[in-house]
Chain A
Amino acid sequence: MAMQKYSVFSLIKNAFKGHKDWEVAWKDPTPKAEYDVIIIGGGGHGLATAYYLAKEHNITKVAIIEKGWIGGGNVGRNTTIIRSNYMHDENGLFSEFGMDLWRNMSLDLNFNVMFSPRGIINLAHSDAQMNAYSRRGNSMRLNGIDAVLLNREEVKKIIPMADFSENVRFPIFGGLMQPSAGTARHDAVAWGYARQADSMGVDIIQNCEVTGFDVSNGKILGIRTSKGEIKAKKIGLCVAGSTNVLAEKLNMTLPIETHLLQACVSEPIKPILDNVVTFGAGHFYCSQSDKGEMVMGGDLDGYNSYAQRGNLPTLQHVLTEGIAMFPFLSKLKMLRTWGGIMDMSMDGSPIIDKTHIEGLYLNCGWCYGGFKATPASGWTFAHTIAQDKPHKLNEGYSLNRFSTGHLIDEKGLGTKTWIS
Chain B
Amino acid sequence: MLYILCPHCGLRPQTEFSYGGDATVKRPELNKEISDQDWDNFVYLRKSPRGKHLELWQHISGCRQWIKVERDTLTHEIFTTYKASENT
Contact = CB atoms under 8 A, between A and B. Distances in A.
Check whether chain A touches chain B (CB < 8 angstroms): yes
Interface of A: 242, 244-245, 248, 253-258, 302-307, 311-313, 346, 402-403, 415-418
A302 B48 contact: no
Interface in B43-81: 43-50, 53, 55, 71, 73-76
Contacts of B41: 253
B30 to A, nearest CB: 19
B1 A245 contact: no
B53 to A, nearest CB: 6
Contact of A307 (B22, B43, B47, B73): B73
Question: Would you list the 3 A-B pairs with minimal beta carbon distance, nearest first?
Answer: A255-B44, A244-B48, A253-B45
B21 A257 contact: yes
B73 A304 contact: yes
Nearest to B75: A307
A313 B15 contact: yes
B74 A253 contact: no
B43 A248 contact: no
Instruction: Bin the interface of chain B by size.
Output: 20 to 34
Interface of B: 1-2, 14-15, 18-19, 21-22, 36-37, 40-41, 43-50, 53, 55, 71, 73-76
Contacts of B76: 305, 307
Contact of B45 (A254, A303, A304, A312): A254
Contacts of B73: 258, 304-307
B15 A253 contact: no
Residue among B2, B36, B49, B76 with the highest chain A CB neighbour number at 10 A? B76
Contacts of A257: 21-22, 46, 48
A403 B41 CA distance: 9
Given A258-B50, A306-B73, 15 more contacts: A244-B48, A248-B49, A255-B44, A256-B46, A258-B73, A302-B19, A304-B53, A306-B74, A307-B73, A311-B1, A312-B1, A346-B43, A402-B40, A402-B43, A418-B19
A311 B2 CA distance: 8
A415 B55 contact: no
A253 B18 CA distance: 25
11 contacts: A248-B47, A253-B45, A254-B45, A257-B21, A258-B50, A304-B53, A304-B55, A307-B76, A311-B1, A346-B46, A418-B21
B40 A256 contact: no
